[in-house]
């Protein structure tokens, strides 16, 4: 089973507040250095890693000299804004020792729920990864309200894994993994080695957070594993205090708890596109484009002869042959009116025709499934 992790080319690593701030004692620079070293080693193997890091609020509280976590939203947001500065500064310094750049990405729930912003976040993140940059992701605490909050970064980690189609989500925390009960409360609890992420029995074992500085607890990690599995990602929950946990997990060592996905990323994505989304329109494509799509290529504007329906960027559209057969469906990079303007035109003309070039493809092959 652990070979699943060894084969993962794209990984999301999530580190919780307790680890990042050494239980609230301020940023644990040694821990940050160790994660940077391990992630740099994975990058050197050609693997891509995005880091979801908590700790802004805890670090901000420490900088401001607060010993008690405030309850008012505005104070929490102020602490997050102060702490996030120290957090990204420390990561940039730690990664620069390995010749790597970092990028700060702050997200809210709304960013991922809105299809067009979802696509933007996805292309920015995948571009950063392709450039060899390590994205450091956190919730945009300064602007969130209750309705648009992830609240805990386990959920954010899973959504990022969905977003960039990572094969693995590594959640590092202050316990060895998932136990049959909260080990802080039940000393007889035993560690679960591995199981299916979708297995509902784990929810009953998991409790809330055991510390005053963290938010999620084990229950949000189990739900994160379920969510990650929906896009085919396997989740490992392990102790961040073990030596080199990221490298050892990524090498397939049986550390912590593995909650594996039952489908591959491709199957999961196909299922998602096939089942969950209503078609917002049709792109009628010529025979050359049909052949290109059947051989796994992206759809370029030049192959589109007609655009049906009214849709926004990010909508799901069907690509149909001249005879009306659905050849593929996928997420479209331009709105219906933009598609009409660039249909039959070479990619080089997109910017002239609509004033900007978002992506050269109308539907990228990564966002498309054949029918």
Ligand X SMILES: N[C@@H](CCC(=O)OP(=O)(O)O)C(=O)O
Ligand Y SMILES: Nc1ncnc2c1ncn2[C@@H]1O[C@H](COP(=O)(O)OP(=O)(O)O)[C@@H](O)[C@H]1O
Cite the annotated binding site for ATP by residue number.
14, 173-174
**Structure tokens given for 77:** 């947001």
Number of residues that bind ligand Y (CB under 6 A): 25
Which x/- pattern, by CB under 6 A, does the window 259-298 give for ligand Y? ----------------------------------------
Residues belonging to the binding site for substrate are 54, 141, 153
Which x/- pattern, by CB under 6 A, does the window 189-228 give for ligand Y? ----------------xxx-xxx--xxxxx----------
| Binding test (CB under 6 A) with ligand X, winner from 32, 91, 103, 152 | 152
Min CB(143)–ligand Y separation in Å: 22
User: Residue 42 phi/psi, 5° resolution?
Assistant: -65, -40
DSSP 261-275: -SS-HHHHHHHHHHH
Determine how β-strand 134-139 pairs with β-strand 234-239. unpaired
Residue 155 makes contact with ligand X by CB under 6 A: no
Only one of the segments 3-11, 124-132, 152-160, 269-277 lies at the binding site for ligand X (rule: CB under 6 A); that segment is 152-160
| Binding test (CB under 6 A) with ligand Y, winner from 184, 294, 340, 344 | 184
- Which one of ligand X, ligand Y, none interacts with residue 56, CB within 5 to 8 A by kind? ligand X
With tokens 């049986």, the residue in question is 254
The CA angle 157-162-168, to the nearest 5 degrees, is 65
Which x/- pattern, by CB under 6 A, does the window 337-366 give for ligand Y? ------------------------------
Residue 182 makes contact with ligand X by CB under 6 A: no
Which x/- pattern, by CB under 6 A, does the window 2-21 give for ligand Y? --------------xxxx--
* Gap between the Cα atoms of 174 and 239, Å rounded: 5
**Structure tokens given for 74:** 């505005």
Which x/- pattern, by CB under 6 A, does the window 223-262 give for ligand X? ----------------------------------------
| Binding test (CB under 6 A) with ligand X, winner from 51, 57, 90, 228 | 57
* Gap between the Cα atoms of 53 and 106, Å rounded: 11
Other beta carbons within 10 angstroms of residue 143's beta carbon come to 11
Q: Which is nearer to ligand Y, 17 or 367 (CB)?
A: 17
- First-to-last alpha carbon distance for the chain, in angstroms, is 31
* Gap between the Cα atoms of 4 and 282, Å rounded: 37
Residues 156-175 that bind ligand Y (CB under 6 A): 173-175
- Which one of ligand X, ligand Y, none interacts with residue 77, CB within 5 to 8 A by kind? none
> Strand, helix or coil at 24?
coil
- Helix ranges, the chain (H): 3-6, 17-20, 29-44, 56-64, 73-96, 109-113, 115-130, 153-164, 201-205, 218-230, 245-250, 265-275, 287-294, 336-342, 350-354
CB 114 within 8 A of CB 159: no
Residues that bind ligand X (CB under 6 A): 16-17, 54-58, 80, 138-139, 141, 152-154, 214-216
Residues that bind ligand Y (CB under 6 A): 16-19, 54, 173-175, 178-179, 181-184, 205-207, 209-211, 214-218
């Amino acid at each position: 089973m652990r070979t699943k992790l060894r084969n993962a080319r794209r990984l999301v690593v999530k580190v919780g507040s307790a680890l990042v701030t050494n239980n609230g004692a301020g940023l644990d620079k040694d821990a940050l250095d160790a994660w940077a070293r391990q992630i740099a080693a994975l990058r050197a193997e050609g693997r891509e890693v995005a880091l979801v890091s908590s700790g802004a609020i805890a670090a901000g509280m420490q900088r401001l000299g607060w010993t008690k976590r405030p309850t008012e939203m505005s104070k929490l947001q102020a602490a997050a804004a102060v702490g996030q500065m120290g957090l990204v500064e420390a990561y940039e310094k730690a990664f620069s020792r390995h010749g790597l750049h970092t990028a700060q990405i702050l997200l809210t729930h709304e960013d991922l729920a809105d299809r067009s912003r979802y696509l933007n976040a996805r292309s920015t993140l995948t571009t950063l990864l392709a450039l060899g940059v390590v994205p450091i992701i956190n919730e945009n605490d300064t602007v969130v309200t209750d309705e648009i909050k992830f609240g805990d970064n386990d959920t954010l980690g899973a959504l990022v894994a969905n977003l960039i189609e990572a094969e693995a989500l590594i959640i590092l925390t202050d316990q060895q993994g998932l136990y049959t009960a909260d080990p802080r409360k039940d000393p007889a609890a035993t560690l679960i080695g591995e199981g299916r992420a979708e297995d509902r029995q784990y929810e009953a074992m998991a409790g809330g957070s055991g510390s005053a500085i963290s938010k999620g607890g084990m229950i949000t990690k189990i739900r994160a594993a379920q969510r990650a599995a929906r896009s085919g990602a396997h989740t490992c929950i392990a102790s961040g205090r073990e030596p080199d946990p990221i490298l050892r997990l990524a090498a397939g060592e049986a550390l912590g708890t593995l909650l594996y996905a039952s489908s591959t990323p491709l199957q999961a994505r196909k299922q998602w596109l096939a089942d969950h989304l209503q078609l917002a329109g049709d792109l009628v494509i010529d025979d050359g484009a049909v052949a290109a799509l059947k051989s796994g290529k992206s759809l370029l504007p030049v192959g589109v002869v007609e655009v049906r329906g009214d849709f926004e960027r990010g909508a799901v559209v069907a690509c149909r042959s001249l005879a009306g057969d659905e050849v593929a469906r996928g997420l479209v990079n331009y709105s219906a009116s933009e598609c009409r303007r660039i249909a039959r035109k070479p990619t080089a003309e997109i910017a002239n025709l609509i004033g900007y070039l978002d992506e050269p493809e109308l539907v990228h092959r990564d966002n498309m499934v054949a029918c």
